[in-house]
């Protein structure tokens, strides 16, 4: 595959909010966000249509707050607000690089973001803008993984790129277990049956029902987003069959 030719026309890139913290464990690291924005710009210049879903775990994680006794619906709403903060930070970094960007939020806050409307999102993509989906699904009890799957179906994306801090999907946590085995390919059913932590079961089931492939890869290695987009075989492919 020619490195200058994108394999996919329309892409959803799902990024964990923890990436935004950089070397620190909390908050937003400006240098990290700028470097990420530069990679997004390089991918955009390939000619593909790119939308992002960003988590909020670097600021607030609703599930953990719920475990500590907070009402789950309130905790999840706070987590959705954290995704808006991350989205605005990335939008600022992208636009300073000259990349036209729109933040569409499932939680209505017109002063800082456009409301999510499917046709509007699709139109932004057609016009060559980077679209950032913020505010999760707008409902508690749903993760940003599910948001990525849902938005991918709605805008007609060809693939979900799941950006993580590890090389792909393993049979055990590679940070804790030195002998953890990395999978090159998996089917949706294998992910569900093995209870592998690729995405939550709702997100995986949605992708399975609509035969939308997922590629899990390491975003911490510079240039990996571009490699995945141009078809280089890195990370782990989750699909209905073999590549």
Cα angle value 49/125/157 (rounded, 5°): 60
CB 114 within 8 A of CB 120: yes
Q: Is the pLDDT of residue 1 over 90?
A: no
pLDDT digits (tens, 9 = 90+) for 15-40: 999 999 998 889 999 999 999 999 99
> Do strands 185-187 and 214-218 pair parallel, antiparallel, or not at all (unpaired)?
unpaired
**Per-residue pLDDT at 242:** 56
Delineate the domains of the chain, giving CATH numbers in brackets.
10-239 (3.40.1160.10)
Question: Residue with structure tokens 């599910």?
Answer: 146
pLDDT digits (tens, 9 = 90+) for 99-110: 999 999 999 999
Q: Is the pLDDT of residue 118 over 90?
A: yes
**Per-residue pLDDT at 179:** 84
**Per-residue pLDDT at 189:** 95
């Amino acid at each position: 595959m020619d490195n200058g030719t994108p394999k996919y026309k329309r892409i959803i890139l799902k990024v964990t909010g923890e990436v935004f913290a950089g070397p620190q464990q909390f908050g937003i690291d400006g240098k990290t966000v700028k470097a990420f924005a530069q990679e997004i710009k390089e991918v955009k210049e390939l000619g593909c249509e790119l939308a992002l879903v960003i988590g909020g775990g670097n600021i607030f994680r609703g599930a953990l707050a719920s475990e500590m006794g907070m009402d789950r619906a309130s905790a999840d709403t706070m987590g959705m607000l954290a995704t808006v903060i991350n989205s605005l930070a990335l939008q600022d970094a992208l636009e300073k690089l000259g990349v036209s960007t729109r933040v569409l939020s499932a939680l209505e806050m017109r002063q800082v973001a456009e409301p999510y409307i499917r046709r509007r999102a699709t139109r932004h993509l057609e016009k060559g803008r980077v679209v950032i989906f913020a505010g999760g699904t707008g409902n508690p009890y749903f993760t940003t993984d599910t948001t990525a799957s849902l938005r991918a179906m709605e805008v007609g994306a060809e693939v979900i790129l799941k950006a993580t801090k590890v090389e792909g999907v393993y049979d055990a946590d590679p940070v804790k277990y030195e002998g953890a085995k990395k999978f090159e390919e998996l089917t949706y059913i294998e992910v569900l049956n093995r209870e592998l932590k690729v995405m939550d079961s709702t997100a995986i089931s949605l992708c399975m029902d609509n035969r939308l492939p997922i590629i899990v890869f390491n975003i911490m290695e510079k240039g990996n987003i571009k490699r995945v987009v141009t078809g280089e075989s890195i990370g782990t492919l989750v699909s209905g069959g073999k590549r």
